[in-house]
Amino acid sequence: MTPLLSVSGLSKHYGAQIGCADVSFDLFPGEVMGIVGESGSGKSTLLSCLAGHLVPDSGAVIYDTRAEGPRDVITMSEPERRMLGRTDWAFVHQNPRDGLRMAVSAGGNVGERLMATGARHYGDIRAAAEDWLGRVEIDPRRIDDRPATFSGGMQQRLQIARNLVTGPRLVFMDEPTGGLDVSVQARLLDLLRGLVRQMGLSAVIVTHDLAVVRLLADRLMVMKGGFVVEAGLTDQVLDDPQHGYTQLLVSSVLQV
Amino acid sequence: MIEITKLSKSFLMHNQGAARIEVMRGADLSVGPGECVALTGASGAGKSTLMRLIYGNYLAGGGAIRVGGVDVARASPREIIALRRETLGYVSQFLRVVPRVPTREVVAEPLLVLGMPEAKALSRAEALLARLNLPAPLWSLSPTTFSGGEQQRVNIARGFVHPYPALLLDEPTASLDPVNREVVLDLIEAAKARGAAIVGIFHDAAARARVCGREVDVSAFAPVSA
């Protein structure tokens, strides 16, 4: 099977400072990979390089495109990369305000992604938006309200609806449940798990919450100081950590 | 079905003075289809460690763990995930679930990930929950608030809903009343009859005598101290 995403030797420096260094991994269709590590360990830098938001210093990010098979995202032309970002990829930001248009209605936020991929029939777009608001458990009567009137948890769910409406194959998530209260977090986890199963999508999830990765991710990468110090099956890395830093990370979690 | 050869395992605690705890050396175990083998030994002898090694939850130090043609000691995460989905079931003592997910969906999940249509998977899950005497009004609730015995039955239902060719059972009858204990022992006997290879830990000696054809004392796998 061809990996959906194949990353090799990816490095990014900020001057003399290491962002992430020599990261390599393969992600297969239907797989969810978690990336954990303390803040400043390079998780978000790596995610931005993968999604084409940052240009890495070296390395390759090979994505298996629908039309032309495996292509290097980094050397791809900007319009091609933007097209991928609109159709095959989704990026869920940590702060929903970075991923939403705050001055446009909830329905408009969801519909915009559809229009960017060619949908023109207003009734169809509105129906799809209503359907997705329901799926992320937002009352469809709020379709004409602006996200600014939504709570933080609703904004995060709206951002997820906006991202998934075009049926992407790969979703990048930066702390998708950070800053949400635990009841909303549980609802989101359930939603994401269902979507991964039903739509067969692959995801790369950056988080510092080990409980979240245990429930969502098949595989786990642990980062420290820009380097991947350990990688493997999620429950194996959490239950039998090999690297000293992972052992510290796992043993530092407070039991509820 | 399950072939373990020369398996060894040690834990290295980097943050606790780099202490190295060697727990297993030269373990050999073979379990064929239709066979149920009980792991015995005192608390801390390594029964659960061996189960976790077979499931790929612990990383093997050396040796081989072949389950249905896959060497868990060397397999990639992707191969282990596929093995767990199709071949190798595990009933642990703890239930770990996404909060808010109804019990019937928790139990049906192993079938849903194999691509079974939702209605069929849910009706199978419900039939098994009924057999395990879990009251129907609980099926639409999340198991996170259930009692210990109820959670254990949800766990058992999850482990038996798909006919795994290999099964690991960690204390499946520990906190059950006599009626439900009987149901679980029947499920184990039915799994043996269809050809499943089972490795179990049973502190309940009568249950062990009834379903297990063989006992293996894991103390024999402990490294000989110099």
- Are B59 and A242 an interchain contact pair (Cβ–Cβ within 8 Å)? yes
Q: Is the model's pLDDT at B225 over the cut of 70?
A: no
Block residue for tokens 């309940």 = B204
pLDDT tens per residue, range A129-148: 999 998 888 999 999 999 99
Q: What residue in B sits closest to A242 (Cα-Cα)?
A: B12
Average pLDDT of chain A? 90
What is the spatial distance between Cα A115 and Cα A95, in angstroms, rounded to a whole number? 24
Please give, rounded to a whole number of angstroms, the shortest distance from the CA of A184 to a CA of chain B. 10
Q: Is the model's pLDDT at A256 over the cut of 60?
A: no
The residue among A66 and B137 whose pLDDT is bigger is B137
- Put simply, whether A253 touches B (Cβ < 8 Å) is no
Backbone Cα Rg of chain A: 18
pLDDT in the model for residue B166: 97
Q: Which residues pair with A34 in a beta bridge?
A: A205, A220
Give the side-chain half-sphere CA count within 13 A for A17: 6
Task: Spell out the domain ranges in chain B.
Answer: 2-97+149-221
What are the angstrom distances between the C-alpha of A245 and each of A37, A249, A253, B86?
Answer: 9, 6, 13, 33
What are the angstrom distances between the C-alpha of B39 and each of A152, A254, B202, B215?
Answer: 51, 32, 8, 6
pLDDT average, residue stretch B86-97: 91
pLDDT average, residue stretch A27-34: 92
- Are B96 and A232 an interchain contact pair (Cβ–Cβ within 8 Å)? no
- What pTM was estimated for this model as a whole? 0.89
Q: Which of residues 212-231 of A touch B (CB under 8 A)?
A: 214-215, 218-219
pLDDT average, residue stretch A163-174: 91
Top residue of B14, B48, B95, B97 to mutate, by most chain A CBs within 10 Å, is B14
pLDDT in the model for residue A104: 95
Q: Is the model's pLDDT at B5 over the cut of 90?
A: yes
pLDDT in the model for residue A241: 95
Q: What residue in A sits closest to B56 (Cα-Cα)?
A: A236
Confidence label for A38 from pLDDT (cuts 50, 70 and 90): confident
Spell out which chain B residues touch chain A, with contact meaning CB-CB distance below 8 angstroms.
11-15, 52, 56-59, 77-78, 80-81, 96, 98-101, 112-113
Q: Is the model's pLDDT at A184 over the cut of 80?
A: no
- Are A186 and B77 an interchain contact pair (Cβ–Cβ within 8 Å)? no
What is the spatial distance between Cα A18 and Cα B216, in angstroms, rounded to a whole number? 52
Top residue of A188, A213, A233 to mutate, by most chain B CBs within 10 Å, is A233
Domain B2-97+149-221 has CATH 3.40.50.300: yes
Q: Is the model's pLDDT at A181 over the cut of 80?
A: no
Q: How many CB pairs under 8 A join A and B?
A: 54
Range of lowest pLDDT (A106-110, A137-141, A196-200, A245-249) = A196-200
Task: Find, among A225, A241, A210, the residue nearest to A35 by Cα.
Answer: A210
- Are B78 and A31 an interchain contact pair (Cβ–Cβ within 8 Å)? yes
Block residue for tokens 């073979």 = B30
pLDDT tens per residue, range A219-233: 999 999 999 999 999
pLDDT in the model for residue B223: 86
What is the spatial distance between Cα B105 and Cα B109, in angstroms, rounded to a whole number? 6
The continuous run of DSSP H or E covering A46 comes out as helix A43-50
Q: What percent of chain B has pLDDT over 70?
A: 99
Top residue of A221, A236, A246 to mutate, by most chain B CBs within 10 Å, is A236
Q: Is the model's pLDDT at B143 over the cut of 60?
A: yes
- Are B14 and A219 an interchain contact pair (Cβ–Cβ within 8 Å)? no
pLDDT in the model for residue B226: 45
pLDDT average, residue stretch B41-60: 93
pLDDT in the model for residue A179: 67
Confidence label for A112 from pLDDT (cuts 50, 70 and 90): very high
Strands, E assignment, chain A: 5-14, 17-27, 32-36, 58-65, 69-72, 89-92, 170-174, 202-206, 219-224, 227-233
What is the spatial distance between Cα A99 and Cα B138, in angstroms, rounded to a whole number? 39
Task: Find, among A50, A43, A56, A51, the residue nearest to A224 by Cα.
Answer: A43
Q: Is the model's pLDDT at B1 over the cut of 70?
A: yes
- Are A247 and B15 an interchain contact pair (Cβ–Cβ within 8 Å)? yes
Confidence label for B114 from pLDDT (cuts 50, 70 and 90): very high
Task: List CB contacts (< 8 A) between B13 and chain A.
Answer: 247
Task: Identify the three-state secondary structure at position A104.
Answer: coil
Nearest to A233 among B13, B80, B112 (CB): B80
Q: What percent of chain B has pLDDT over 90?
A: 83
Top residue of B52, B74, B98, B104 to mutate, by most chain A CBs within 10 Å, is B98
pLDDT tens per residue, range B160-214: 999 999 999 999 998 899 999 999 999 999 999 999 999 999 989 999 999 999 9
- Are A193 and B98 an interchain contact pair (Cβ–Cβ within 8 Å)? yes
Range of lowest pLDDT (A64-68, A106-110, B81-85, B220-224) = B220-224
ipTM of the prediction: 0.90
